[in-house]
Amino acid sequence: MKEKLLKIFAEHSDQFVSGEKISQQLGCTRTAVWKHIDELRKNGYELESAPRKGYRLIRKGDGIHSHEVKVGLTTKRIGHEITYFDETDSTQYTAHKLAQEGAKEGHVVIANEQTKGKGRLGRQWFSRKGTSVSMSLILRPELPPQKTPQLTLLTAVSVVRGLKKATGIDCDIKWPNDILINGKKLVGILTEMQADPDRVNSIIIGIGMNINQHHDDFTPEIRELATSVALVKGKNVDRAKIIAAVLNEFEQLYDLYIERGFDLIRPLWEAHSVSVGTFIYARTMREVIYGFAKGITEDGVLLLEDEKGKVHEIYSADIEI
Ligand code: BT5
């Protein structure tokens, strides 16, 4: 009911909508309309009411609403099914569960707040209620498992392009899964899969984006490492628009990838990468290697030439530039 009511206000942007019209569209009594309006107010929405005119939405609450995302979508399937939580442990957990239960490709899980956001290797992903985007996308490509790192890189390109379209900002990609602005982390990507030895059943792509955080919204451990769109732009931005823009870019690139492979995606990735063509430290599970990042392979593996001229294939690491 709340979603339906918000949809009515979205369709009437700044105008008043009469209580009568709302009650007809929702199929409920005027008293029930009044109760739903009251509920929205309790959720942080600012609504003006005027005799004989009805209600007008002045300011939204701090949630992200599925219909607001859907309004911005130009996709054929990605994001058509959205599961939204005001609060959940991790959108990755829910997406895995939905995938096991047979969710279709393109189903997206979005949360306004995550209490157990995950990074790679058991690390934490921090987000503050109402300020960030935490979403997980379910995919079902016919791919051998070793190709899945390509999808992390494809996602990074989609995020950079989506952010540029929705907000005008230019970001860099740091292999394999970070989006940076001025060297600070804006977005983290986590790609997980459910697979048999030779076949992927589903891939869950988690995207955590810092959007409307201000300096003090970040926990002390990441305050100096992290940035947000609002910090870069100097004002808050609409998270639903950003989600839609990223999903739109994602579907275009993903369709291209499924049809023509990684060859067309790689130059797009390289164009935004700050970790290729330069000297870097790569911290893997076993060692730290210093060398020249020569490029990425067809599978998205980083090629790092050490000081003795040996080329290492890096599958997973943290990079310091
Ligand atoms: C990542 O891991 O960057 C992947 C983050 C993926 C988060 C999304 S949100 C939706 C979905 N649901 C989840 O539960 N997860 C995914 P990694 O490269 O391991 O980076 C983790 C490190 O980044 C942490 O150890 C911190 O140092 C730092 N970090 C944590 N939260 C951050 C934030 N909000 N902004 C910038 N850096 C952060």
pLDDT at 78: 98
Residues 105 and 254 in one domain: yes
Residues 74 and 47 in one domain: no
How far, in Å, is the centroid of ligand 1 from the Cα of 27?
43
| CA nearest ligand 1 atom 19, residue | 120
pLDDT tens-digit series, residues 27-54: 999 999 999 999 889 877 899 999 999 9
* Inter-residue contact 11 to 18 (CB < 8 Å): no
| CA nearest ligand 1 atom 29, residue | 125
Range of the domain at 313: 279-320
How far, in Å, is the centroid of ligand 1 from the Cα of 141?
25
Counting the structural domains of the chain, the total is 3
Residues 126 and 243 in one domain: yes
Q: Is the CB of 292 under 6 A from ligand 1?
A: no
How far, in Å, is the centroid of ligand 1 from the Cα of 210?
10
Q: Is the CB of 117 under 6 A from ligand 1?
A: yes
How far, in Å, is the centroid of ligand 1 from the Cα of 187?
8
Check pLDDT > 80 for residue 240: yes
For 12, the token pair is 């009437």
Residues 53 and 29 in one domain: yes
- The CATH number assigned to the domain holding 295 equals 2.30.30.100
pLDDT category at 151 given cuts 50, 70, 90 is very high
Instruction: Tell me the mean pLDDT in the region 122-134.
Output: 95
Instruction: Tell me the mean pLDDT in the region 253-270.
Output: 96
Residues 152 and 286 in one domain: no
Residues 128 and 155 in one domain: yes
Please choose from 89, 123, 125 the residue to mutate so as to test ligand 1's pocket, defined by most ligand atoms within 8 A of CB: 125
Instruction: Tell me the mean pLDDT in the region 6-24.
Output: 90
Instruction: Tell me the mean pLDDT in the region 47-69.
Output: 89
pLDDT tens-digit series, residues 267-281: 999 999 999 999 999
Q: Is the CB of 206 under 6 A from ligand 1?
A: yes
User: Which residues pair with residue 136 across a beta bridge?
Assistant: 109, 206
Q: What percent of the chain shows pLDDT beyond 70?
A: 100
pLDDT at 192: 97
In the sheet with 178-181, reading across from the earlier edge strand, the strands are 82-85, 108-111, 132-139, 199-210, 184-196, 178-181, 172-174
Residues 171 and 214 in one domain: yes
| CA nearest ligand 1 atom 27, residue | 222
Residues 160 and 234 in one domain: yes
- The CATH number assigned to the domain holding 106 equals 3.30.930.10
